[in-house]
Amino acid sequence: MTDLDFVDETRVFYDTVAEDYAVRFSEPPVAMPLDLGLLYGFAELVGEGGEVADLGCGPGRVTAYLASRGLSVFGLDLSESMLAIARREHPGLRFEQGSMLELDLADASLDGVVSWYSTIHTPLDRLPDVFAEFFRVLRPSGHLLLGFQAGDEPRHYEEAFGHRVALTFRRRQPERIAALLEAAGFVVRSRTVREPDEELGEPVRQACLIARKPPEPVS
């Protein structure tokens, strides 16, 4: 599969299922206290007024929560259909179309980056490029929040929400992702793994890493 294939496949999948996805995952983060704790902790680390990008924002619910914690946050997503829902549900926030592989952002322009389950369709050999982009756009001492499904075996779907679509969901071991983040220059500050929530229909453990771009050396 080429880069264009996996990016286009992801875009088409979420453009197709966007409205059904938004209904299925209608609960805001506050309904999931363990995930909420991670998002809250990230917001505290960034600090009030910190400039943050929610990359792969989907319908914008994490974006909205972080905004409620006082962050200056905007959402970015591949899918225009997802962005239409985000703009409809959160008209006071900014949402833009774009790819994590080529962020239209200046170097060292953000205090925080959120990737909440948005790297799970990216092939392993392209993760270093994605993490390099995260590192590039963060200011020194800026923080990254990265959520993903924990495991080894990917799961490929040919149908979702009654639609004929194709997409691979890639699961990763937290230790491997931590090593890739460290290779990109980050310092990993937190590793959290929780058991799957049966009520949400989660089939595998869920992982979250918080990493920091090192501060500038003191001269």
Alpha-carbon span 150 to 160, nearest angstrom: 21
Residues in the chain: 219
Residue position matching structure tokens 């363990």: 34
In DSSP terms, 95 is beta-bridged to: 75
Task: Read off the amino acid at residue 52.
Answer: V
**Mean of pLDDT values over 13-22:** 86
Alpha-carbon dihedral of residues 209, 198, 66, 18, nearest 10 degrees? 110
- Average pLDDT, integer, range 186-206: 90
Give the domains, in start order, of the chain with CATH numbers: 3-99+108-212 (3.40.50.150)
Reported as a pLDDT band with limits 50, 70 and 90, residue 2 is: very low
Local structure of 120: helix, strand or coil:
coil
Quote the CA–CA distance of 219 and 202 in Å, as a whole number: 49
Looking at residue 166, its pLDDT comes to 83
Q: Which residues pair with 120 in a beta bridge?
A: none
Residues whose CB is less than 8 angstroms from the CB of residue 106 and which lie 6 or more positions away in sequence, other chains included: 137
pLDDT score of 95: 98
pTM: 0.92
Q: How far is CA 166 from its chain centroid?
A: 20
pLDDT band of residue 177 (cuts 50, 70, 90) is very high
Can you list the alpha helix ranges (DSSP code H) found in 25-126?
33-46, 61-68, 80-89
Q: What average pLDDT does range 138-150 have in this prediction?
A: 97
Please say if the pLDDT value at position 29 is more than 70: no
Instruction: Supply 29's token pair.
Output: 């983060």
Of 141 and 163, more confident = 141
Query: Does position 217 have pLDDT exceeding 90, yes or no?
Result: no
Q: What is the pLDDT of residue 1?
A: 41
Q: Are 122 and 93 in contact (CB under 8 A)?
A: no
CB 72 within 8 A of CB 52: yes
Across the chain, what does the average pLDDT equal? Answer: 91
Cα gap 122→92, rounded to integer Å: 30
